[in-house]
């Protein structure tokens, strides 16, 4: 399902987006915005992963956990 969202931009930003589309980097303004959102979502997931790794390293040595533990951790963080 696709929904519509209106975004207001200052003219210089709109001109930049229009230029990206004109150069063929994106098929449309919507394609450009969707890609920005996808990229940001990937960065957010990477930040979560980095946080989890840092927490794990800071926690010191531990016993091996079963698969259910890791499943619940992934679910907790939306992974």
**What is the C-alpha to C-alpha distance for residues 35 and 21, in angstroms, rounded to an integer?**
12
Q: Does a structural domain hold residue 1?
A: no
CA angle, 66 then 70 then 76, to 5°: 145
Q: Does a structural domain hold residue 5?
A: no
Contact 29, 18 (CB under 8 A): yes
Whose tokens are 């969202």? That residue is 5
Distance separating the N- and C-terminal Cα atoms of the chain: 22
Q: Does a structural domain hold residue 3?
A: no
Determine the structural domain holding residue 57 and report its residue range.
Answer: 11-76
| pLDDT tens digit at each of 79 positions of the chain | 989 999 999 999 999 999 999 999 999 999 999 999 999 999 999 999 999 999 999 998 777 777 788 888 889 888 8
Q: Does a structural domain hold residue 35?
A: yes
The count of structural domains within the chain is 1
Q: The whole model's pTM is what?
A: 0.68
């Amino acid at each position: 399902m696709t929904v519509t969202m209106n975004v207001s931009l200052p003219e210089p930003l709109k001109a930049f987006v229009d230029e990206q589309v004109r150069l063929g980097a994106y098929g449309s303004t919507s394609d450009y915005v969707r890609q920005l959102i996808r990229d940001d979502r990937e960065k957010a997931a990477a930040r979560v992963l980095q946080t989890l790794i840092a927490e794990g390293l800071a926690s010191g040595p531990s016993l091996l956990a079963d698969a259910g533990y890791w499943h619940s951790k992934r679910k907790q963080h939306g992974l």
